Structure 1
Amino acid sequence: QFVTDNGANIFDLYKEELLKNPYTAENARIAASHYGAQLFDLAKNGFDSIPDLVLSIGYQNGSLYDIGQKVNYGVSK
């Protein structure tokens, strides 16, 4: 679980706020189910279980480009 400084469960706070919001109240159960599972996995595996994004950026012909991509869209494209 993830808890606040005063001991409140983050997921419980999330569900409460979903139900308060008129735009999300109707789908609160679906959202809580989806994100609750992700939060549970993150708590179980830890933050270090998510690999870091590795991005190599180059500069050529006046624009930046991602070295790992076959097609890039810079100033000339």
Structure 2
Amino acid sequence: MAIEPVVGDKYLFTWAELGKPTVAAEIKLPGLGVLIFDDADAHYAKQIGENAAYFIRRSRVMGEGIYVVVSRQQPAEQ
């Protein structure tokens, strides 16, 4: 099954789907490539927890098969 973008050229991954990383890392995305997960992304996951989710897309600057976080899904305030 092919992985399809959810909006334009962006893919949505939850923190759990990424393996629940808590530090900056290069995460293998089967069928896509490698996600560069930085300190800000890890901090967001620690603050939000299980509801953390990320919109990612291919980095045109870093080359083929390299993906970066372009936005973080924000939970609604209670």
Structure with larger Rg: 1
Using structure 1 for the length normalisation, give the TM-score: 0.26
Identify which of structures 1 and 2 has the higher relative contact order when contacts are C-alpha pairs closer than 8 Å and 6+ apart.
Answer: 2
Q: TM-score, normalised by structure 2?
A: 0.26
Q: Which has the higher helix share?
A: 1
